[in-house]
Amino acid sequence: MAIAAFRMITLVAVAAMIGPSVQARDDGRYANSPLKGWFESLRSKGGGPCCADADGTALDDVDWDTSNGHYRVRLLGDWIEVPDDAVITEPNRVGRTMVWPYYVNGRAMIRCFMPGSMI
């Protein structure tokens, strides 16, 4: 779980520096980040840990929206509806919209989704 949390911390730092959507990759630089514990504590409504087996991705505003009362995200060019139990409802400390996808047989699935601050 610690490695996945480091990936998330790396994601936030890189996203803040370069802006566009990026995939998280850990190189250990953010092991002492004050957000490390927060990332590790994130859980979906279904109770599953977000940072356990999936990399987080920061999304640009054009890559997420709502449709028929549900969030949806664009991953690899396809729009995917976010399951209601994958939505994180606690305050977003990083501000950016984030999604934790995982892939089954080449198909993107959503482990967790955290809407941005919409500033």
Find tokens 């892939």 and name the residue.
103
Rounded alpha-carbon distances, angstroms, from residue 5 to 32, 69, 84? 11, 30, 23
CB 55 within 8 A of CB 100: yes
Q: Taking 80 as the threshold, does the pLDDT of residue 70 lie above it? A: yes
Does pLDDT of 2 surpass 50? no
Q: Does position 34 have pLDDT exceeding 60, yes or no? A: yes
pLDDT-above-70 percentage for the chain: 68
In 1-119, which ranges are E strands? 22-23, 57-59, 64-67, 70-75, 78-81, 97-104, 107-114
pLDDT, position 97? 93
Confidence check: pLDDT of 28 > 70:
no
* Domains, the chain, with CATH or none: 2-114 (2.40.50.180)
Interatomic CA distance for residues 7 and 12, integer angstroms = 9
pTM: 0.69
| Terminal C-alpha separation, the chain | 30
Count how many Cα atoms sit within 13 Å of the Cα of residue 41 in the half-sphere of its side chain. 10
Dist CA 14 CA 110 (whole Å):
22
CB 29 within 8 A of CB 73: no
pLDDT digits (tens, 9 = 90+) for 36-60: 788 888 888 877 787 755 568 889 9
